[in-house]
Chains A and B, each alone.
Chain A
Amino acid sequence: SQQGEEDPQALSIQEGENATMNCSYKTSINNLQWYRQNSGRGLVHLILIRSNEREKHSGRLRVTLDTSKKSSSLLITASRAADTASYFCATEKDSSYKLIFGSGTRLLVRP
């Protein structure tokens, strides 16, 4: 079952612009994570935000979490062509070790 749903499904922006992706989920969570996947490759972990956190930064990435709305957003500032990839949110519901992934947002950054 897909717990998280990303929005939009696809996003095309110009280099230098900011990119915002959203994730909604259905049940209470322990933490929410964002991953990046280049075409045909494995996923790379970007950032983890715990259920008691509201915002987290890592370099050009900013993640917010609103547990009352069961939603999260990933902001990539000053995008680069190399940021072109698919981005997935994943939720860990409890301490079961299991992550449930959304269907992803495909980001295209045009040079």
Chain B
Amino acid sequence: DGGITQSPKYLFRKEGQNVTLSCEQNLNHDAMYWYRQDPGQGLRLIYYSQIVNDFQKGDIAEGYSVSREKKESFPLTVTSAQKNPTAFYLCASSSGLGYNEQFFGPGTRLTVL
């Protein structure tokens, strides 16, 4: 069953702690993305990766870090430098070939206590 998974579904963090959100895909896609969504808002791009061992900052990369050591995995770390991390985080992937339809995971809701 092909798809993109994110874990955990809900995550609670104390202020000052780093947390890592998991994103895995078995679609054999080259490109992967992380978005942040605030209530009632659209998606804003945090980081994206077009290929293994390479990634680029999106529009709101400050306070976040990523790695892309494997094709199927693109974890996002929310660091203590992110001043307002409470949000819904969505991971997506695309084949990177031709036109860029993106497939989304179910999301992780992060709450800072």
Q: What is the interface of chain A, defined by CB distance below 8 A to chain B?
A: 1-2, 4, 30-31, 33, 35, 40-45, 48, 50, 88, 92, 97-104
Q: In the complex, what residues of B have CB within 8 A of residue A2's CB?
A: 42
Which B residues are in CB contact (< 8 Å) with A100?
Answer: 45
Of the listed stretches B13-21, B65-73, B76-84, B99-107, name the one at the interface; the rest are far from the partner chain: B99-107
Q: Are the CB atoms of A50 and B107 closer together than 8 Å?
A: no
Instruction: Decide: B48 and A97 in contact? CB cutoff 8 A.
Output: yes
Q: Is A99 a contact partner of B102 (Cβ separation < 8 A)?
A: yes
Beyond the given pairs A43-B102, A97-B31, 18 more chain A to chain B contacts, judged by CB atoms under 8 angstroms and listed by A's residue number, are A40-B88, A40-B107, A41-B106, A42-B90, A42-B105, A42-B106, A43-B104, A45-B102, A50-B99, A88-B42, A97-B48, A97-B96, A98-B58, A99-B100, A101-B42, A102-B42, A103-B40, A103-B42
Query: B109 contacts which chain A residues (CB < 8 A)?
Result: 40
Q: List 23 A-B contacts (CB under 8 A).
A: A2-B42, A4-B42, A33-B100, A40-B88, A41-B107, A42-B106, A42-B107, A43-B90, A43-B102, A43-B104, A44-B104, A92-B99, A92-B100, A97-B31, A97-B50, A97-B94, A98-B45, A98-B58, A99-B45, A101-B42, A103-B40, A103-B42, A104-B42
Residues on the A chain within 8 Å of B100, using CB: 31, 33, 92, 97, 99
